[in-house]
Chains A and B, each alone.
Chain A
């Protein structure tokens, strides 16, 4: 199985801050990497697919980059509604998720 190491596990930031989350794969997964947002009591929501493509309807403050084993997810200017847990997920092989990053407002 491909292991996904996501960091940090939790993050506290202020409104307007730039927020960055990283995800590292245990082997080369090309660009087969997605990012999801999950709010409490809700199903996950796809934000970024294929490492850097913004899903339709997702605000442009969200972005993703990377390829191979190292990936980055960025919120350019944190908004109050962005409070959630974020997960990376690879699909080069059977899907696996990162451990999640819990994002809080400072």
Chain B
């Protein structure tokens, strides 16, 4: 059974940093590109970042470019999102999402339960 388990969320002050993790199981993690998608309270879905299956090739939404870094450790079946210079508008539930066919450009057929990030003083 596929599983994605996010962790690392919490309360952080503006300008602070946080590192999210997403532990994957039930599929061949190293064969799949992976994504982060976020949802601000009461708002819609926003794609944040993607990474290729081997870690080469990273992509970011303009809203986080230069502040967030996506990475992965295929030996640990884990996806990461390093978030720096956090702003109030980064407050959201952060989901990791698996692409259906494993490709960077694909539908997201499995999502984690999400981890909440709150940026506030």
Instruction: Using CB atoms, name the residue of chain A closest to B112.
Output: A43
Contact (Cβ within 8 A) B113 A43: yes
Minimum Cβ distance to chain B for residue A65 (Å): 16
Interface size on A, residues (CB 8 A): 24
A34 near B107 with CB under 8 A, answer: yes
Which residues 33-73 in A have Cβ within 8 Å of B in the complex? 34, 36, 38, 43-46, 49-50, 55
Pair B62/A97 contact, Cβ less than 8 Å: no
> Are B107 and A87 within 8 A (Cβ)?
no
Q: How far is the CA of A45 from the CA of B105 in the complex (A)?
A: 17
Best-buried of A45, A93, A95 by chain B (most CB within 10 Å):
A95
B residues adjacent to A (C-beta < 8 A): 35, 37, 44-47, 50, 59, 61-62, 95, 100, 105-109, 111-114
For the complex with contacts A43-B111, A43-B112, A43-B114, 18 further pairs of A-B residues with Cβ separation under 8 Å are A32-B105, A34-B108, A43-B113, A44-B95, A46-B100, A46-B107, A46-B108, A46-B109, A49-B100, A49-B107, A89-B45, A89-B47, A89-B107, A91-B107, A93-B105, A95-B35, A95-B50, A96-B47
